[in-house]
Amino acid sequence: MVYKCCVPRCRGNYGTGPKVIFSFPKDANLRWKWLSAIHRDNFQPTEHTKVCELHFTESDICRHTGCYDEVKGTKLTVKLSRPRLREGAIPSVLPGCPSYLSTPSTSS
């Protein structure tokens, strides 16, 4: 199944848009914050509702994971096959919407 971004005016995960999408959180408080952030009237997300990476700052998205090798004394870093969100991340970048609804993107 191909998922599309639910944020108004977003073309994420369409033909030329970004392909990384995230599901709505199960935590009721965080879910409510996501709903408030994307500004859709009378909207109830389902388990299939997604938000694309365009709506998160680069610091909200984990693209690598790492661990410390105690034997060698080095840190190992590996690229994740699917990026994930940091705990508590809320969509805050809303391109195409009025500027007061969005925080500036810090990605390059």
Q: What is the pLDDT of residues 44-92, one digit of tens each?
A: 998 889 998 889 999 999 999 988 888 888 888 989 988 999 999 999 9
Locate tokens 């709506």: which residue?
Answer: 55
pLDDT tens digits, 2-40: 778 888 888 777 776 667 789 999 999 999 999 989 888
Judge whether 93 lies within some domain: yes
Judge whether 1 lies within some domain: no
How far apart CA 52 and CA 19 sit, in angstroms, is: 7
Strands 61-69 vs 74-85: parallel, antiparallel or unpaired: antiparallel
Judge whether 2 lies within some domain: no
Judge whether 33 lies within some domain: yes
Judge whether 5 lies within some domain: no
**Domain carrying residue 42:** 21-101
Judge whether 43 lies within some domain: yes
Tell me the whole-structure pTM to 2 decimals.
0.75
Burial of 4 (0-12, 13-18, 19+ CB in 10 A): middle
Judge whether 50 lies within some domain: yes
How far apart CA 94 and CA 55 sit, in angstroms, is: 6
How far apart CA 47 and CA 84 sit, in angstroms, is: 17
Residue 103 CA to its chain's centroid (Å)? 14
Tell whether the model's pLDDT for residue 101 goes beyond 60.
Answer: no
Judge whether 64 lies within some domain: yes
- Domain count of the fold of the chain: 1
